[in-house]
Amino acid sequence: MNFNISVISGDGIGPDIIEQATKVLNKIGHKFGHQFKFIEVDAGGIAIDKFGEPLPQKTLDICKSSDSILLGAVGGHKWDTLPVEKRPEKALLGLRSELGLYANLRPAVLYDTLKDACPLKDEISSKGIDFIVVRELTGGMYFGERGIKETHLGQAAWDTEMYAVEEVRRIAKTAFDIAMLRNKKVTNIDKANVLASSRLWRSVILEVKKDYPQVELDHLYVDNATMQLIKNPSSFDVIVTTNMFGDIISDEASQITGSIGIIPSASLGKSGLGMYEPIHGSAPDIAGKDLANPIATILSAAMMLKYSFQLEEEATTIEIAVFKVLENGYRTKDIMSIGKKQVGTKEMGQLITDEI
Ligand code: IPM
Ligand code: MG
């Protein structure tokens, strides 16, 4: 089969890790008889430098007309002083909203072989960590009205957290559908003891739950959830939460599974078009130094095969290859521990490719 993939390398370590992921995809194509055509497009800081805007219309059009999007990372200190509308992150947010990618899936799995990289006590981590965060991605505070105004205390700035019933319904359905394929447990994370938007959110979650009698549902306030994630991570299966809380919770999840460098993500919408990216950022300090961990991006490519192209076997082949390379003791710097073999970005990508 033929697939057109828009590739946004972006900024910082973006090009380093994308190079390894496309190498892996080419190998998969070779092995299974698929043709992956990569269309390079600019977004983020590099697009600001070249075209004066983070998300050029041409990039958006190409992304819209492709079968899928693979993204490295955007952002960097260089563009930190720009106004919010002109920053590289705007490219990411623009792609998410313009493409209607409301469901962000972020799996958090502690590989047995990476136990040493997990900061939790053995008695906690040995129970296993394997859950997925389903983060709402096109609503809430990220996209609500915001502004600056004068108050009796002087200048003030404000952002709005707002959710419509339909926005909650569709993300709830995504979460329950995924739970049906896993261990049939959904944990809703909100702040319903304080926020009106959370109270509506929770009521819609409860409504959708009625269609999934086999799924167990519980609710946690977000502050408590951050504690439970480190005290009792094995109790989670599927987490559903808002854009803002999901951003925070998924970073915490990445730490307890060893490194933010191994967590992939899929952003999906109604149209079937998906965007796949590591959850980590552009790490400009290590860009181009062959230090970045390409595993999160490689596993994002695997998610692409699974969710956008329905190539389950191919996706599993990548996951197994990653697992084997880790089993064989190879580590990038971020997950390095005593007795293991440290390798750079390129070598890690090559080892995984060879394993396939
Ligand atoms: C993420 C990132 C983004 C977000 C930033 C870069 C805008 O932190 O994908 O989690 O906040 O969503
Ligand atoms: Mg984040």
Tell me: do 62 and 175 sit in the same domain.
no
In-domain check, residue 261: no
Tell me: do 251 and 123 sit in the same domain.
yes
Tell me: do 309 and 222 sit in the same domain.
no
Judged by its nearest atom, the ligand closest to the C-alpha of residue 87 is: 1
Nearest residue CA, atom 12 of ligand 1? 247
- CA 252 / ligand 2 centre spacing (Å): 10
Tell me: do 252 and 282 sit in the same domain.
no
Closest ligand 1 atom, CA of 93? 7
Counted domains in the chain: 2
Of 225, 256, 287, which marks where a domain is finished?
Answer: 256
* Type of residue numbered 222: V
In-domain check, residue 202: yes
Q: Could you say which of 11, 16, 247, 334 is catalytic?
A: 247
pLDDT of the residue at 258: 81
Tell me: do 310 and 252 sit in the same domain.
no
Tell me: do 129 and 154 sit in the same domain.
yes
pLDDT of the residue at 8: 98
Q: Residue 286 belongs to a domain with what CATH number? A: 3.40.718.10
307 is catalytic: no
Of 256, 282, 314, which marks where a domain is finished?
Answer: 256
Closest ligand 1 atom, CA of 251? 10
- CA 250 / ligand 2 centre spacing (Å): 7
Can you give the pLDDT of all 356 residues of the chain as single tens digits?
899 999 999 999 999 999 999 999 999 999 999 999 999 999 999 999 999 999 999 999 999 999 999 999 999 999 999 998 899 999 999 999 999 999 999 999 999 889 888 999 999 999 999 999 999 999 999 999 999 999 999 999 999 999 999 999 999 999 999 999 999 999 999 999 999 999 999 999 999 999 999 999 999 999 999 999 999 999 999 999 999 999 999 999 989 998 889 999 999 998 889 999 999 999 999 999 999 999 999 999 999 999 999 999 999 999 999 999 999 999 999 999 899 999 999 999 999 999 99
Q: Determine if ligand 1 sits within 6 Å of the CB of residue 343.
A: no
Closest ligand 1 atom, CA of 74? 6
Burial code of 198-237, b = ≥16 C-beta within 10 A, e = fewer? Answer: bebbbebbeebbeebeebebebbebeebbeebeeebeebb
Q: Determine if ligand 1 sits within 6 Å of the CB of residue 71.
A: no
CB 224 within 8 A of CB 192: no
Tell me: do 282 and 354 sit in the same domain.
yes
In-domain check, residue 110: no
Q: Could you say which of 49, 61, 112, 223 is catalytic?
A: 223
Tell me: do 180 and 296 sit in the same domain.
no
Closest ligand 1 atom, CA of 104? 9
Of 196, 229, 256, which marks where a domain is finished?
Answer: 256
In-domain check, residue 239: yes
Tell me: do 240 and 293 sit in the same domain.
no
* Type of residue numbered 205: I
In-domain check, residue 265: no
d(CA 291, CA 134): 29
- CA 210 / ligand 1 centre spacing (Å): 32
In-domain check, residue 147: yes
251 is catalytic: yes
Give 50-58's long-range contacts (Cβ < 8 A, gap of 24+).
53/86, 54/86, 54/87, 54/88, 54/89, 54/90, 54/91, 54/94, 55/90, 55/91, 55/94, 55/95, 55/98
142 is catalytic: yes
pLDDT of the residue at 259: 82
Tell me: do 145 and 246 sit in the same domain.
yes
Both tokens of 305, joined, read 């095969």
* Full residue range of the structural domain in which residue 51 is found: 1-103+271-356
Tell me: do 252 and 275 sit in the same domain.
no
Tell me: do 68 and 167 sit in the same domain.
no
In-domain check, residue 113: no
Q: Determine if ligand 1 sits within 6 Å of the CB of residue 249.
A: no
CB 294 within 8 A of CB 16: yes
